[in-house]
Copies of this chain bind each other. A is one copy, B any other.
Amino acid sequence: MKLANLVGERFKERPSDCLIDSHALMVRGGYIKNVANGIYSSFTPLKRIVKKIEQIIREEMDNIDGQEVSFPVVLPASLWEESDRYDNVGDELLRFYDRNNGKYVLGMTHEEAAVHLVREYAQSYLKYPFMIYQIQTKFRDEARSRGGLIRVREFTMKDAYSFHSSQADLEDYYNKCHKAYERIFERVGLPQVVSVASDSGMMGGNLSHEFMLLSPVGEDSVVICKSCNYRANMDAAENIVNNTKDEMSNPLTLVHTPNINTIDDVCSFFNTTPDKTCKAVVYQKESDNKPVVLFIRGDYEVNEAKLKNILGCDIYPAEINNEHGLVAGFIGAYKLNTDCEVLFDRSLENTNNLICGANKVDYHYTGFDIGRDTGNVDYIDASKVTANGTCPNCKNNTLEISRGIEVGNIFQLGTRYTEAMNMTYLDEDGKRKYPVMGCYGIGVGRLAAAVCEARHDDYGPIWPMSVAPWQVHLCAVRVDDHKIKELADNIYNQLVKKGLEVIYDDRSVSAGVMFSDADLLGVPLRVIISPRNLKENCCEIVSRDKKISLKVKLDECIDQINDLVFTEFAE
């Protein structure tokens, strides 16, 4: 098509509200327009990219025997009540009423709908395994949408659901899907995406992985071991702490510490370091608002996702108001007289000679020895991994922490949903059983943004051929010269006839405007017809990534362009 007709504006200035490059470039290049908080319309260039990404995903899903179906966007609350998620998922689940006061939700994930679709069908073990998937609009009422298409409220997602008659079969399929995901990310131009062990969160189930594009603008923290293959989301990474006790445990000593109630204060006062302190962090449970006290070594931070999973419910930072025997700023594990739940992070295991609160205003103890002074406790893993921490796999102190954009996830769900929704089948042995499920998601719009984030320069995206909105960007410089116009029209027609996707710029604008627009559209191959080239009976072929820059005789250019599109740039 002609660029002159392409609906959408392109401009130079970076919008001040765009914090990340892909967001800025997608706004500047006429890819998206914001409609409301976390809700976008897409212009044609993005729509074309998205359709190509969808087709790649579809091919790879079909390739692992997926069957494309579709579930509704609007789901009756009754389905989410069956799985017990209607009341247990937070405000991100948008709930509303229809004209007859029926309760509905906007689908943000479709485990319930998937079970609903197949539970009458799959009553015999002979029907298993199978996988169904859809590519459909979803809505998640995020508290904080940000980063353009990276975190939105309305999004298009491929979500797949597999059903199996054994855990072993699920695991086989899970691995197949893992490989299919690797192929998808490679085909869309992101071979560097890595999978990391993840926290299953609200999905339930046992094992899950996220696929991460490592990027400084990512929202997730990823723990990666430099020595071995270990990779995990911060929320799923085990924190290994190797404490060694001082040879001698000093006696517990009560010290008057007026107005000393932060770890920093304590360290200054006692001239020590945070690792020699035991701090108390207090949360309240979303379910019953009761406080929970977690003791943790002073230099570690709580990972709230891990704590949530241990407690089995949402938590929020507590307001400490001297009820429950808690003395704000001076809570200590020794002789804490409280009716609250009290937990100990494993960062305290095998410690002595720590400083801790004395449960009395303006007093701390020194010489706290956790084993001696609190008796036997069960330690939990609720602290954040730190850089150079110990790898849970190879045990070297070679953990690194990076940022990542989550572009996909896969979950082993087990029987979480089939049990809740009473989906059963008759097994070979004549017994009724619950099938085990897996689910597998990819956010299509976010993936497009991630490709842009990973592949761009200051002037625009550098789309890989596989997902580029067009394959060739034809620029006719100086169309007022009728020879240029005629030649460019001719080349355009020939390329289109070959079946190539061409965006054709025949506007009467300067080469500068033309090229900056082309940069913003990020089409992999640019073909330039200009008076200077014409003199040499040539056209110029330049790749957006600057790796190719050729002068090609006009009578060879169509074949050359075709070759470049289908061989040089093919995967």
Contacts and interface: CB of A to CB of B under 8 A. Distances in A.
Contacts of A550: none
Interface in A18-32: 30
Interface of A: 1, 5-9, 30, 33, 35-37, 39-44, 47-48, 50-51, 65, 67-76, 78-79, 91-92, 94, 96-99, 102, 104, 106, 113, 116-118, 120-122, 127, 130, 132, 136-137, 139, 141, 143, 153-154
A9 B121 contact: yes
B141 A99 contact: yes
A40 B99 contact: no
A74 B33 contact: no
B40 A72 contact: yes
Contact of A47 (B9, B68, B130, B141): B68
Interface of A is mostly: mixed
A53 B344 CA distance: 61
A137 B8 CA distance: 23
A69 B96 contact: no
B136 A41 contact: no
B72 A154 contact: yes
Q: Count the copies.
A: 2
Nearest to A152: B72
B79 A116 contact: no
A69 B44 contact: yes
A70 B42 contact: yes
A40 to B, nearest CB: 7
Nearest to A123: B9
B113 A35 contact: yes
A92 to B, nearest CB: 8
Nearest to A98: B141
Contacts of A154: 72-74
Contacts of A106: 74
A35 B67 contact: no
A47 B137 CA distance: 15
Nearest to A110: B41
Contacts of A118: 7
A8 B91 CA distance: 34
Contacts of A36: 72, 74-76, 78, 102, 104
A380 to B, nearest CB: 31
